[in-house]
Amino acid sequence: MEPIVQISLDVTNIEDALAMAEVAVAAGIDWIEAGTPLLLGEGLHAVAALRKAFPHHPIVADLKTMDGGYLEAEMMAKAGATHVVVMGVAHPATIRAVVRAARDYNIKVMGDILGAADAAACAKMMEQNGVDYIIVHTGFDERGEDPERTPFDHLEKVVNAVSIPVQAVGGLSIQQAAEMPKHGAPLVVVGAPLVIDKQEFKPSADNTELTRILQELVAKVKGSASKGE
């Protein structure tokens, strides 16, 4: 697939999320993610607000679903999400329930391998159960205890294990994120590095700098794709 650039809105209120999304969309971002902190703070109202403000952009609801899969996916689809996230360490029945809801509501499912003992096996299992995308995710807390951990720990094995598109997230620099398509992960996501400051989830204070960073990221990702790199 052609590379996609996604902004993760890892803030805790709708006002900040809409402000950051406006900057991101103007910079050329393809997909908008309602990050987990935003969903915890505002719930499906955040998704509805993003859908109203950006009617033509795909919206990812990073639910990190572990149970109640059909209901959670259904609620977010009705609010305007086009993609929902289920955890690979959830019971396979939950993964299948999310997939059923996605098919019923014409949305897509992203499967997150965070915490899986065998990342490649987890990714393959989710693909077999109907998930549309795999997220190779190194968690915030995990990186806090071991800063050396990155998605590169599992990325190559996961890419080789599945035939569906892969996304890598967690502790990557802007430069590393831009180069993800070269590593077999065409879904490029950027978020937390821009908005987390001293453990607080808040938007970047400098919209000019944020715009510049995002424009450069989009140009690099799209430029590499056009050159076949």
Judge contact between 44 and 76, C-beta under 8 A. Answer: yes
Judge contact between 76 and 102, C-beta under 8 A. Answer: no
Query: Token pair for residue 74?
Result: 């259904």
Domain over 4-223 is classified CATH 1.10.10.10: no
CA distances to 46, 134, 173 from 84, rounded to whole Å, are: 14, 12, 25
Residue found under tokens 């790199």: 229
pLDDT score at 229 = 47
Q: How far separated are the first and last CA of the chain, in Å rounded?
A: 13
Work out the number of other CB atoms within 10 angstroms of the CB of residue 148.
Answer: 7
Count CA within 13 A, CB hemisphere, residue 91: 7
Domain-wise residue ranges, the chain: 4-223
Q: What is the pLDDT of residues 145-161, one digit of tens each?
A: 999 999 999 999 999 99
- The DSSP element (H or E) to which 85 belongs, if any, is strand 83-87
Angle at 229 between CA 184 and CA 215, to 5 degrees: 90
* Regions of the chain where pLDDT drops below 70: 192-193, 195-205, 224-229
Judge contact between 132 and 109, C-beta under 8 A. Answer: yes
Judge contact between 84 and 63, C-beta under 8 A. Answer: yes
pLDDT score at 196 = 61
Cα–Cα distance measured from residue 147 to residue 165, given in angstroms and rounded to the nearest whole number: 26
User: Inter-axis angle of helices 44-53 and 69-79, to 10 degrees?
Assistant: 30
Cα–Cα distance measured from residue 181 to residue 186, given in angstroms and rounded to the nearest whole number: 4
Taking alpha carbons only, the member of 133, 169, 131 closest to residue 153 is 169
pLDDT score at 153 = 95
pLDDT score at 197 = 60
pLDDT score at 41 = 97
